[in-house]
Every structure is written in C-alpha cells, then in structure tokens.
Amino acid sequence: MLTAVFTLVGCGVSVGGEASATPVVNTAGVLPFAGLQRTYEVHVPPGIAHPAGLVINLHGAGQTGSAQAAATNYNAVADRFGFAVVYPDGIDFSWADGRGASVPDRQGVDDVGFLVALADRLTHDYGIPPGHVFATGMSAGAFMATRLACDRADVVAAIAPVAGSLGSAASCAPSRPVSVLATHGVADPVVPYGGGGMVGRGGPSDIVAPPAMAERWRALDGCPGVPVEEVVSAGVRFTSSGCADGTEVVFVRVDGGGHEWFGGSSEAGAQFFAAHAR
C-alpha cells in the first residue's frame, strides 16, 4: 500500500522538494537518435548487476537531466528499491510532449522514439526485465511521461507525473493498460488544476485538467466503479484499483499546492512502480 505521497508537504520551489544528503554522481551517456546526439545521465544502485527496473525521470522546461536528479534526489530512492534511473536531456531544455508549444514540438523532434530507444539500450545493457520500465517527471516532464505512456504503453508499465497533464489536442490511445499515480497542486500557477489555457516556457497551449486526465486514465484502464476517496495530510487521494490487467489509477490532489515537486513524490513514485511492474 502506498504511504509516502500521502504525507506530502509542499516544498515551495519550482523543481525540487527532496533533500539530497550526498552529491549526485551519475554516468553520462550519448545516444545518437534521428540525426541528433541525445544526452543523458544514468544511475545504477551500487552492487546490483541487474536492477529490478528502470525509471525514466524527466525534467521540466528550462531544466536539465542533472538538475532533475539533484532536485528529486531520486538516486537515493532508486537505491532502496533496486532501480536504475535515467535522467535524459530535452532539446532546448524541453520536450515534444504533444502540446505544440515547445521548440522540439515545433521542430518535430521524436522524443517518444528517443525515450523508447534509450529504454531499449539501458534494459539491454543492465539486464532489466521486460515490463519493468517506468516514467516520472515534473511539469513539462510530466506531460512527456504521460505522452510516452499514451503512445508506447507496450514499453512503459506505470507513470507518476507531478504537476503536469496532457495537451488537449494530444491523442491518448494506449495499446494496453498503464498504472498511473498523478499528483497535482490545486494552486498550481503554471499548469492550472482546472485545465484550459496555460503559458509555459515555450508559449501558450491548452491542456486537459489534471483531475479529468486521471478520469480518462480510469476509463482507458477499465477501472470499475468510482474512485475511493481518502483525506490525507496534504489533501485528498482518489484511488481506483482492480483495473484491467491489475493496473491502478491514483490521483492525489494537494490542497494549496503550487507548481512543485512535492516532498515524498520520489519515494511514492518508486513505491508505486515496485507494485506495478508487469
């Protein structure tokens, strides 16, 4: 049962909320893809030859993979769960997440293809089992994680987007059910809780309201009945279990929460992933 995300405390910063006790040390890599030299950093738990899974951790607009690693302190969490974690870099510090507002979107960059190729490389190199690839991200990274699940559910078993949703014009027709843990602040000034128009680093776009996106996932995953509501310290958790193929859809509403990586998001995401491999 998930616990960490339900004691969330907003950190009040735009990209980070997990205190890092030790310096982030990762291995840099380059993957040539579609005529571009795509860069990333990867961390593998010490002493583990074959990690239990791969977490793709995606940065927000204007950030980098290394900044996301430091802000989320995901290495320490991944070590406890035996996961490898990769922090890719977006073109022009952003992603082609389907909203049409970013430079990579306007240039037709295939970020979905890049992330799938990166997952293929790392699962092969580290002997990670099929069905154990997951994605999380902050803001634009959350939009990208959602698009990845919509487009390549055959690769991604579960996602944990924070402070993001999906562009209103973007399609979402996953080839199979995907487990989802989405977290969003009611007072988010960048990605509005009620959806509609937003203005990010790349310009204006129109988005699906985060609660409505969670409802869409419930429909896509064939979840029965209505979600179970539970009041938690930071807000309300809405849980739909018993969905198709054993998937689960959880939406956490953070009352008063802004545009931030909430304290506990890394731990909760990893815990959710560990419970929802295929």
DSSP string, 151-216: H-TTT-SEEEEES---BTT-----SS--EEEEEEETT-SSS-TT-EEEEETTEEEEE--HHHHHHH
Q: How far apart are CA 153 and CA 80, in angstroms?
A: 26
Supply angle C-alpha 139, 140, 146, rounded to 5: 95
The structural domains of the chain, with segments of one domain joined by +, span: 4-275
Residue-wise pLDDT for 39-92, tens only, equals: 999 999 999 989 999 999 999 999 999 999 999 999 999 999 999 999 999 999
CATH architecture of the domain with range 4-275: 3-Layer(aba) Sandwich (3.40)
Residue-wise pLDDT for 126-165, tens only, equals: 999 999 999 999 999 999 999 999 999 999 999 999 999 9
pLDDT of residue 5: 47
Confidence of residue 25 (pLDDT cuts 50, 70, 90): confident
Identify residue 252 by its one-letter amino acid code.
V
pLDDT at residue 10 is higher than 50:
no
pLDDT of residue 23: 55
Mean per-residue pLDDT over the chain, rounded? 92
Q: How far is CA 275 from CA 68, 136, 190, 269, in A?
A: 24, 15, 31, 10
Lowest mean per-residue pLDDT among 19-28, 30-39, 188-197, 234-243:
19-28
Global pTM value: 0.93
Residue-wise pLDDT for 160-196, tens only, equals: 999 999 999 999 999 999 999 999 999 999 999 999 9
